[in-house]
């Protein structure tokens, strides 16, 4: 691990390598254009540090996996993307000249690319690839950034899950749109789960089997309260996101051990600061997340990051060989735990009663009910605020018949009530030959029988960017109503609509456009 010393000096000495736009390039060609920015060099340097740390620790964390085996893209949205470790880079990436410290060959692609828009795992050239965004904001250059390196580990493991994991095991995002997030009993029991897991993982002691049985009794009670479908949503995120979060915690633990055991890399050595003391990120910070209150579909999803992480740590401390089974079988983490520490059916009720008493369940339930009352009121206020936005209000009534929900962001979805919800970041729909999409523009949807049954859309757009066309004729924002028989198009900042027959009406003040579509 002496290789850690001097990582930053190597990063600082990185040459001003260059890349060009890829119009006529191929992966075998090199790019001779402008130099990398300081942020580029710093991010690539930290990616190199991540690879060094992986070679030293990944085998101890997850045998058979490592960053060096995973293609990784780091990108700045709309400007540039850099690719490493890919066995066959796509032809629109060009090879950077020279060598970067700690990295092998690096490929670059300039310009905007819709494939790179989130921290996630994507298919690139037919290979599961980790995708990680970086900012142009000032960076702390005095020490390695464990926060960025932990993110690299997390997203790279997603690529590994996609490659070797059981297909569909974590695919539960859409279920959270229907998740009964105002179920007070479920949330109070979930809070008990989190507190038990915090007690079980906060120290390195061998976990108390009776406390584990208490957790399992609470999980069984939640199964009765929620039903199998919605508990599977929690379990799916514990698998999909909790395990990569577990990797982040184990990375921090192994990095601390490695630098502490390396001569000359004490707390006073500036090159050891990030890996040794890591003031920006500590393993204990992850455990404290277990004490957060979960109050809606978004935070319920976030909760499962932490409970999945804690369950994985518990299985480690129990000495269970769980990793292959968790990836390739139908079993979820709590089900593997229940096999390691069985809870006899005849003792589940007593275990649940003991947990409720020890963790003051009735008081927790009362606090949850009060919180949910405030959340319901906050949601009504959010709807009122949405409807008071400036701009032109576009109200779209969708045609009778099936509406395909093509894409949405489950982390930025806010239920209002049984008939309305707000998609705050992204929404894409298809209906027959028509389509609607919005990106980075909040959209309120009117619901039919559930969150997938979208019957109407309300969105506010800037007047100056709004363009409309009906039956191939431009439509001005002038009061009146007209029927269109073959096509209607609407575009504005972040919003696109294309459909066939229907009617279009503009209010007397020109501030509202109603479009009713026919099937």
Nearest CA among 278, 326, 287, 42 for reference residue 164: 326
Model pLDDT, residue 397:
96
The domain locations on the chain are 2-164, 174-238+280-368, 390-517
The residue to which tokens 């007690």 are assigned: 199
Model pLDDT, residue 42:
83
Backbone phi, psi, residue 447, to 5°: -110, 150
Q: Are 143 and 278 in contact (CB under 8 A)?
A: no
Give 424-493 as a DSSP string: SSEEEEEETTEEEEEESS-EEEEESSSTT-EEEEEEEE-GGG-EEEETTEEE-S-SEEEEESS-EEEEET
DSSP letter, residue 18? B
pTM (two decimals): 0.80
> Could you count the other beta carbons within 10 Å of the beta carbon of residue 498?
15
Model pLDDT, residue 457:
97
What value does the CA radius of gyration of the chain take, rounded to a whole number of Å?
26
Question: Is the Cα torsion angle 447, 450, 452, 453 positive or negative in sign?
Answer: negative
Burial degree of 136 (CB within 10 A; 0-12, 13-18, 19+) = exposed
Model pLDDT, residue 292:
87
Nearest CA among 213, 236, 220, 223 for reference residue 307: 236
Model pLDDT, residue 97:
86
pLDDT averaged per 10 residues, the chain (length 519): 32 35 42 66 86 89 92 92 94 87 88 87 92 68 68 93 91 78 92 96 90 98 93 94 95 75 42 41 84 72 93 96 96 98 96 97 93 91 96 95 87 87 94 93 91 91 95 94 93 95 95 92
Backbone phi, psi, residue 25, to 5°: -95, 165
Nearest CA among 323, 299, 333, 330 for reference residue 212: 333
């Amino acid at each position: 691990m002496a290789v850690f010393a001097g990582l930053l000096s190597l990063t600082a000495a990185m040459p001003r390598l260059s890349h060009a736009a890829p119009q006529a390039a191929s992966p075998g060609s090199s790019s001779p254009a402008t130099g990398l920015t300081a942020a580029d060099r710093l991010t690539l340097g930290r990616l190199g540090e991540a690879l060094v740390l992986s070679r030293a620790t990944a085998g101890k964390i997850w045998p058979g996996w490592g960053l060096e085996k995973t293609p990784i893209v780091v990108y700045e949205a709309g400007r540039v993307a850099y690719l490493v470790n890919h066995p066959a880079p796509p032809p629109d990436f060009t090879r950077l000249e020279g060598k970067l410290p700690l990295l092998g060959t690096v490929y670059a692609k300039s310009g905007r690319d819709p494939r790179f828009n989130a921290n996630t795992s994507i298919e690139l050239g037919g290979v599961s690839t980790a995708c990680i965004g970086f900012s142009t904001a000032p960076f702390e250059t005095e020490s390695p950034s464990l926060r960025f390196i932990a993110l690299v580990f997390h997203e790279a493991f997603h690529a590994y899950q996609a490659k070797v994991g059981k297909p569909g095991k974590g695919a539960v995002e859409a279920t959270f749109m229907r998740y009964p997030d105002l179920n007070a009993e479920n949330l109070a029991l979930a809070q008990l789960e989190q507190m038990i897991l915090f007690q079980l993982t906060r120290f390195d002691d061998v976990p108390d089997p009776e406390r584990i049985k208490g957790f399992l009794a609470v999980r069984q009670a939640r199964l009765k309260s929620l039903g199998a479908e919605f508990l599977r949503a929690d379990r799916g995120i514990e698998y999909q996101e909790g395990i990569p979060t577990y990797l982040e915690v184990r990375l921090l633990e192994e990095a601390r051990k490695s630098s502490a055991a390396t001569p000359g890399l004490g707390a006073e050595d500036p090159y050891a600061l990030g890996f040794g003391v890591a003031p920006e990120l500590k393993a204990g910070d992850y455990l404290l997340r277990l004490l957060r209150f979960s109050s809606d579909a978004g935070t319920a999803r976030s909760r499962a990051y932490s409970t999945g992480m804690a369950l994985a740590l518990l299985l480690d401390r129990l000495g269970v060989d769980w990793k292959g089974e968790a990836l390739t079988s139908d079993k979820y983490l709590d089900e593997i735990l229940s096999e390691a520490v069985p809870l006899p059916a005849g003792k589940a009720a007593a275990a649940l009663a003991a947990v409720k008493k020890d963790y003051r369940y009735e008081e927790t339930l009362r606090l949850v009910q009060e919180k949910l009352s405030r959340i319901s009121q906050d949601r009504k206020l959010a709807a009122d605020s949405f409807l008071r936005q400036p701009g032109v209000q576009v109200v779209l009534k969708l045609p009778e018949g099936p509406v395909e929900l093509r894409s949405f962001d489950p982390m930025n979805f806010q239920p209002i009530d049984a008939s309305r919800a707000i998609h705050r970041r992204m929404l894409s729909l298809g209906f027959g030959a028509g389509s609607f999409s919005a990106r980075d523009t909040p959209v309120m949807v009117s619901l039919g029988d559930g969150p997938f049954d979208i019957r109407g859309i309300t969105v506010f757009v800037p007047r100056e960017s709004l363009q409309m066309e009906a039956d191939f004729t431009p439509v001005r924002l002038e009061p009146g109503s007209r029927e269109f028989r073959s096509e209607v198009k609407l575009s504005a900042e972040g919003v696109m609509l294309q459909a066939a027959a229907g009617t279009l009406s503009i209010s007397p003040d020109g501030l509202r456009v109603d479009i009713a579509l026919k099937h």
